[in-house]
Amino acid sequence: MTTRSDRLAILLTFVLVSCAVYSKKQPVETDKAVVTAYVDAWNNRDSTAIDTLMAPDGIHEDVAQNFRGKGPKAVNEFMRGLLAAEPDYKWTVTNTLEDGRFVVLEWTWKGTYTGRDPLGKQVKSRPTSGRGSSVVEIDNGRIIRFTDYYDDASFFK
């Protein structure tokens, strides 16, 4: 015969095991808000916001630029480099998708570029624009991985 406390212990064990088995995080509006704030930080050239949005060991990869930086300091250095080449850039999110683990962005980027184009030719004040996507992983309200995918050459058509 089971006592009430035995039944309660069994029920509690069942609940704990059920929670442990279902480990996929549910989509949270705050995940999208973190990503939106990160894009806004880039558009506002706000390195302090990058410091708070990126996990200390978070990774930002820009595949087309062959950049892989770990932590906010590396991201801020990357941003300064882009600002030197394209001081008026504007990053606009056009669509988002969340699945509880990742936030995926579709975006456009516009600016005026000075530097070497993808073919190595020096250009000055060249208007650029293009589209891309980013896959973002967030944990406890901070970015642990942000990866950009786009074709750099297509921005110079």
Residues of the chain with pLDDT under 70: 1-29
23-156: CATH number: 3.10.450.50
Tokens (6 digits) for 6: 């035995």
The predicted structure's pLDDT at residue 99: 86
Would you call 119 exposed, middle or buried from its count of C-beta atoms within 10 A (0-12, 13-18, 19+)? exposed
pLDDT digits (tens, 9 = 90+) for 81-122: 999 999 999 999 999 999 888 999 999 999 999 999 999 999
Long-range contact set of residues 37-45: C-beta below 8 Å, sequence gap at least 24: 38/136, 38/143, 38/146, 39/91, 39/93, 39/105, 39/107, 42/79, 42/91, 43/89, 43/90, 43/91, 45/79, 45/83
Domain ranges of the chain: 23-156
Give 127's DSSP letter.
E
The predicted structure's pLDDT at residue 157: 86
